[in-house]
Amino acid sequence: MVVKVGIMGYGTIGKRVADAVMRMDDMELVGVIKQTPDYEGEVAIGKGIKLYTYEDRVSKFEKAGIKVAGTVNDLIKNVDVIIDATPDGVGAENRAKIYEPAGLRAIFQGGEEAEVAEVSFNALANYDVPLARGLLG
């Protein structure tokens, strides 16, 4: 089974997560979500990564000459999991406004407090906890 992955945020952390996902045989990077049309977006496209953005920002990308594959809603309909690589506080908002209403599982890889997720996971320290809760596998 191939897990379809989306990444919210393509900055310092999101770029690294995207590179890692693209190297996995059992994962497919469906796309990344960016807020601003900048050089990082062009880098993503150059790597073959599809860009998505918020509905109200599509025209900004078009004006900058950066093609987006769709909106946040388009991406979340086509992924099994989202990896949130946004700054502190943004992931918590995304969880409440985007991920939970869509019934989408999320991994918070950015600057969120531990309370935003069901479990704060470290494979070397507490693999048993998410496994027992059915969050792995």
Measure the CA–CA gap between 5 and 27, rounded to whole angstroms.
Answer: 7
pLDDT tens per residue across span 27-81: 999 999 999 999 999 999 999 999 999 999 999 999 999 999 999 999 999 999 9
What whole-number distance in Å separates Cα of residue 73 and Cα of residue 82?
12
Domain boundaries, the chain: 3-114
DSSP annotation of 4? E
Mean pLDDT within 12-23? 93
Q: Name the nearest CA neighbour of 51 among 25, 15, 99.
A: 15
With contact defined as beta carbons under 8 Å apart, do 45 and 66 qualify? yes
Residue 15 scores a pLDDT above 60:
yes
Fold of 3-114: Rossmann fold (3.40.50)
Q: What is the pLDDT of residues 104-137, one digit of tens each?
A: 999 888 666 666 665 554 445 555 666 677 766 5
pLDDT recorded at residue 110: 66
pLDDT at position 16, please? 92
Instruction: Assign 11 to helix, strand or coil.
Output: coil
